[in-house]
């Protein structure tokens, strides 16, 4: 699962505001969204057997006075102020085998295939399939409805399923994106990737956005390394 900032930023929407005013507005908007979401119980999308595990998150928006507190949970045990000072745009932070509270995002291969039964999921618009073999990216061009059987066949053939904007179906994802948008003052999007064991979906590449990667299932691993800058930028366009 990848969260990343997108092109429509706060400077484009509100060019007349200074950074401090823009940050205050983002905080006010976030607090207002908490008030609206607290009028009724939030749907978690959690299976009945797992609901007791996230009982403490029933009124999740009210838990955070500021989005930075959400980041303390997302990055625990690393505090957000430490992350911004020592890691942000400097070096990767890798967290594994964490204990304690975590943000509940219940999304998996079985979850998505279940959605394909209940909703109209389309190739290209909602999901794409590809794999990386011998230094080349192989695209599985498909069109029409993405059924469970079709996606299982692609998965069995070693294809990675790239799911666009899964926050449309999973509450825990859009709630996390809301926190990130309020904190950074820009649009934040997400993609989910379902990759078979011993396969690679994407070629090695540079991300030109800031990315948080969450591994939601314990199958396989994600490799990341610092590369050399491919271009310099003087701050002007």
What are the residue boundaries of the structural domains of the chain, listed by start?
2-41+59-213
- Bridge partners (DSSP) of residue 123 are 127
The 10 Å Cβ neighbour count of residue 191 is 15
How many contiguous H segments (helices) and E segments (strands) does the chain have?
A: 7, 6
For residue 134, what pLDDT is reported?
84
Contact 44, 170 (CB under 8 A): no
What percent of the chain has a predicted confidence (pLDDT) above 70? Answer: 63
Check residues 127 and 137 and name the one with the higher pLDDT: 127
Q: Phi, psi at residue 43, to the nearest 5°?
A: -75, 125
Do residues 205 and 198 touch, judged by C-beta distance below 8 A? no
Checking if the pLDDT of 42 tops 80, the result is: no
State the pTM of this model.
0.68
Most confident residue range from 7-11, 88-92, 150-154, 218-222: 150-154
Give me the count of residues in the chain.
237
Radius of gyration of the chain (CA): 19
DSSP category for residue 95: -
Domain 2-41+59-213, CATH homologous superfamily name and number = Cupin (2.60.120.650)
Query: What are the tens digits of pLDDT across the range 102-116?
Result: 677 778 899 899 999
Q: What is the pLDDT of residues 138-196, one digit of tens each?
A: 888 899 999 999 999 999 999 999 999 999 998 889 989 999 999 999 999 999 999 98
């Amino acid at each position: 699962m990848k969260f990343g900032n997108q092109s429509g930023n706060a400077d484009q929407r509100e060019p007349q505001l200074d950074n401090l005013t823009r940050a205050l507005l983002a905080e006010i908007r976030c607090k207002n969204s908490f008030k609206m979401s607290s009028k009724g119980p939030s749907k978690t999308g959690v299976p009945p057997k797992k609901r007791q595990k996230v009982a403490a998150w029933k009124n999740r928006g009210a838990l955070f006075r500021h989005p930075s507190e959400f980041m303390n949970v997302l990055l625990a045990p690393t505090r957000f102020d430490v992350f911004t000072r020592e890691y942000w745009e400097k070096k990767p932070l890798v967290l594994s085998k964490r204990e304690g509270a975590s943000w509940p995002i219940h999304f998996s291969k079985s979850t998505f295939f279940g959605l394909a039964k209940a909703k109209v999921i389309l190739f290209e618009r909602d999901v794409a399939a590809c794999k990386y073999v011998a230094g080349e990216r192989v695209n599985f061009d498909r069109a029409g409805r993405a059924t469970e059987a079709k996606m299982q066949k692609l998965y069995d053939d070693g294809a990675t399923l790239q799911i666009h904007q899964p926050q449309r179906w999973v509450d825990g994802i859009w709630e996390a994106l809301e926190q990130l948008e309020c904190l950074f003052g820009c649009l934040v999007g997400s993609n989910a990737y379902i990759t078979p064991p011993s396969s690679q979906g994407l070629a090695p590449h540079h991300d030109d956005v800031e990315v948080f990667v969450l591994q939601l299932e314990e199958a396989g691993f994600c490799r990341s390394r610092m590369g050399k800058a491919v271009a310099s930028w003087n701050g002007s366009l």
